[in-house]
Each structure stands twice: as C-alpha cells, then as structure tokens.
C-alpha cells in the first residue's frame, strides 16, 4: 500500500483509508465481524482509519477503539464532529461549546488519548469560522488532537478558513474531505485546485458514488438499481425512472466497457481514477462486509494510463457532475428561499 503525506503535516497515510460509517448498527452490527474488517485493512497496509461521532450514534467509534487495541500507535486515526448527537440544539454544530464536549466524548468512545485528525463534518452557518478555528487550535495546543480539517466545505469556505486562521493566529486547517467520483467531478473545478494551492490534504469519500460504480448496475449483465430500491426509503436515489438516475445508469453502462477494456472491475477503475488526481491524498473505502473489503483491496496499486482517462473524460467531462447531489451539502443561499427571493 503506497503512502502519501497528509497536507504538509509530515504524517504519512496510506492511499486507501478505511471509512467506518458501516461499522455498527448502520451496517455490520456484529462487533466481532466489524473488528475483523478493521484488522484486515490494517494487515493489508492501510494505516489510516476514519470515523465520526454520528456513525451509528457513536457505536462506530467504540468499535474502532476496541479494534485498535495494541495497534493504536501505528494508526492515523480521524474522526469528525458537527452532526446532532441528541435532541438538544447545543449538542451539534461547530460552536466552541459543542467542540470541547464532542472531542471528549470521541476520545472516551475511541479509548485513546489523542485524535490524529479531527474534522468539521459540515459547515455551520450559525457559527463564525473564527469561533470554530479558535477552539480547534486550542485542542491542537492541548495535545488532544494533532491536526484538524474540514469535510464537504465549498472552495470559498476553504479560502475563508485559511485567511481567518492566518489573520487570527490560529493553527491552519490541514485537510478537506469531499465526495469525489467519476460521476461527481464538480470539485475538480474549485475545491481540488483550492486545496492544492493551500497544500491541504484531500481525503475523498464515496468513490463508488453510493454504489452506482460498484459494478452491479449498468450494461446487459447489470441490474436496474431502481428495481431493488424503488420501494425503500432511498428509492429516489436509485429510481431510474428519474432523469438524473437514468443519466447515471447510461454513464455507468459506458464506464463498464472502459473497465473491461482496461482489464479491471469497475470498482477498481473508480478507485484508481480518484487517486489519479494530483490533489488527492487518500481515498476512503467504506465496506460493510469482509468480502466487500477484500474486493476493494485487490485494486490497490492500480494506475490508469492516459488513454483510459481520456475515455472517462468523454463520458463524464472534467469538472462536471452527472447529477448534482444536494444532500452532500446544500449552501444556505440555496436551502433558504428567503435568501434568493426579494
């Protein structure tokens, strides 16, 4: 497993990182099976493990903490805060009040004395960035965290965070964690160039685009994802009767041909594509089962030549999303109609 340096910190991280959202009640409920997934990833050379306080309401952090017993010093451990951790309105967000509570809760669940990378899970329009960065800087100086970063921040907020940190004497943000895949390339136009300009590490998630690039859908041997999910809570995400999903399915059908011609499964093509961008440090893989993990690990080290990348560009042009997904982060200017109507 190749290593890269995380955002000028000097911390060496594997090009695949283990995302643990599916460890716990949201996915692998059996703690023993979940721990084996963590151990398999570490044995394969992954040294970077990413979780969040909200994953299975804290259960993922507990699983990760137990799984890392005896191996903690060899692992770069990341977690996040921001999302609700209870009904109280102050048990969420990016305020100093919540950050100092949230980090202690995560340290307890992870059963560790420090967090290597503490990430702001989403922007918070109700909290000034100076307030958030000041609190995170104090945590770095106190030794509770080694570095901090952001997740799903638009380019303009990355710039604001950098300028705020420089002008107010705060510790600099070191990483950004955006969604990025062949089907969602919009960040190539702004977020990735901004992160690269500031020397930030980039830890991408959803490289399989919520399963669209898993290889199960598209082409004559692929199923229609809408059939399996149309009656579920996430039906709209996969219903190919919707124009956006039909466009995704058409793109996936063509991408399967590219993968076949390149001699690799579609998921491996998808992972290798993300790692080809010079701004990307590591790609998060989030398996639910041991089988899924082993399948993804088999794609480590693969590289795509220019001809393959050119064919991908023809299917999904650089800097574009097949369909813009507002669920990742919808700015207040779009979410609140009062901010865009007189």
* Residues assigned a catalytic role: 55
Q: How many residues does the chain have?
A: 342
User: Do the strands 3-5 and 12-14 form a parallel or antiparallel pair, or are they unpaired?
Assistant: antiparallel
Instruction: Give the number of other CB atoms < 10 A from CB of residue 311.
Output: 16
* Torsion, Cα of 159, 161, 165, 170 (10° steps): -150
Residue that has been written with the tokens 């060496």 in this structure: 12
3-state secondary structure 232-285: CCCHHHHCCCCHHHHHHHHHHHHHHHHHHHHCCCHHHHHHHHHHHCCCCCEEEE
**SS3 category, 64:** helix
The C-alpha atoms of residue 287 and residue 37 are separated, in whole angstroms, by 8
Nearest to 78 by CA among 40, 15, 41, 121: 121
Residue 160 corresponds to which tokens in the numbers above?
């604001």
**SS3 category, 339:** helix
Residue 83 corresponds to which tokens in the numbers above?
């999302």
The C-alpha atoms of residue 202 and residue 134 are separated, in whole angstroms, by 22
């Amino acid at each position: 497993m190749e290593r890269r340096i995380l955002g000028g910190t000097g911390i060496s991280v594997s090009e695949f990182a283990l995302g643990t959202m599916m460890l716990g009640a949201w996915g692998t409920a059996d703690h023993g099976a979940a721990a084996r997934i963590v151990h398999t990833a570490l044995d394969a050379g992954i040294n970077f493990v990413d979780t969040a306080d909200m994953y299975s309401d804290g259960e993922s952090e507990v699983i990760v903490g137990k799984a890392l017993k005896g191996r903690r010093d060899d692992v770069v451990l990341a977690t996040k805060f921001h999302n609700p951790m209870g009904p109280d309105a102050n048990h969420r967000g990016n305020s100093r009040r919540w950050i100092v509570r949230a980090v202690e809760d995560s340290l307890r669940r992870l059963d560790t004395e420090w967090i290597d990378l503490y990430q702001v899970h989403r922007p918070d329009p109700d909290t000034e960035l100076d307030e958030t960065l000041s609190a995170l800087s104090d945590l770095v100086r106190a030794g509770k965290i080694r570095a901090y970063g952001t997740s799903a921040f638009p380019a303009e907020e990355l710039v604001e965070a950098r300028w705020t940190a420089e002008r107010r004497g705060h510790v600099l943000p070191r990483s950004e964690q955006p969604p990025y895949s062949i089907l969602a390339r919009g960040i190539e136009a702004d977020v990735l160039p901004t992160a690269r300009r500031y020397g930030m590490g980039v830890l991408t998630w959803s490289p399989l685009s919520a399963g669209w690039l898993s290889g199960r859908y598209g082409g004559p041997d692929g199923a229609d994802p809408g059939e399996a999910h149309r009656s579920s809570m996430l039906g709209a995400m996969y219903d190919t009767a919707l124009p956006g999903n039909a466009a995704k399915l058409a793109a996936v059908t063509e991408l399967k041909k590219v993968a076949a011609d390149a001699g690799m499964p579609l998921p491996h093509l998808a992972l290798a594509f993300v790692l080809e961008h010079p701004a990307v440090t590591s790609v998060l893989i989030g398996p639910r089962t041991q089988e899924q993990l082993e399948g993804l690990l088999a794609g480590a080290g693969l590289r795509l030549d220019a001809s393959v990348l050119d064919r991908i560009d023809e299917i999904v042009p650089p800097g574009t999303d097949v369909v813009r997904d507002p669920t990742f982060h919808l700015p207040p200017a779009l979410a609140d109609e009062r901010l865009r109507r007189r």
